[in-house]
Amino acid sequence: MSRQRSLMERIRHWMSWGLHGAMTCEEFEAGLVDYLDGTLSPIDRHRINLHTRLCSHCRRYLRAYDKARRLAGDTIRYSDEQALMSVPEDLVQAILAARQEDSADTRR
Ligand SMILES: [Zn+2]
């Protein structure tokens, strides 16, 4: 019973937020890129923040999306030289050793 009542309270809470300008999950997704770029108006930014607090699904989505964006950004920012410099030395040595073994095999 208390679980049911708390669900009804939550629904009422969500509806009251809806009446006061909270957004739907679809609106949240549509504004997400601008939110992360920092180009949203202060009001829309506030609405996204509110939705993030109220909706665990979108909170997880925001975290995953932000992480993926940062990883993609790192990849784009890296020049080829920087990318090569970030490859661990033991991996480079293992690749070189494997190539030498390969070419030794084909010469036999
Ligand atoms: Zn949502």
Report whether 51 contacts 23 (CB < 8 A): yes
The mean pLDDT value for 90-105 works out to 79
Report whether 30 contacts 57 (CB < 8 A): no
Tell me the per-residue pLDDT of 78-89, one tens digit each, with 9 for 90 and over: 666 666 667 778
The alpha carbon of 62 and the centre of ligand 1 are apart by a number of angstroms equal to 10
At residue 91, the pLDDT reads: 76
Give the CA distances from residue 22 to residues 11, 27, 56, 108, in Å, rounded to whole numbers and listed in that order: 13, 10, 15, 72
pTM above 0.75, yes or no: no
| Whole-number average pLDDT of the chain | 80
The percent of residues above 70 in pLDDT, for the chain, comes to 73
The alpha carbon of 83 and the centre of ligand 1 are apart by a number of angstroms equal to 37
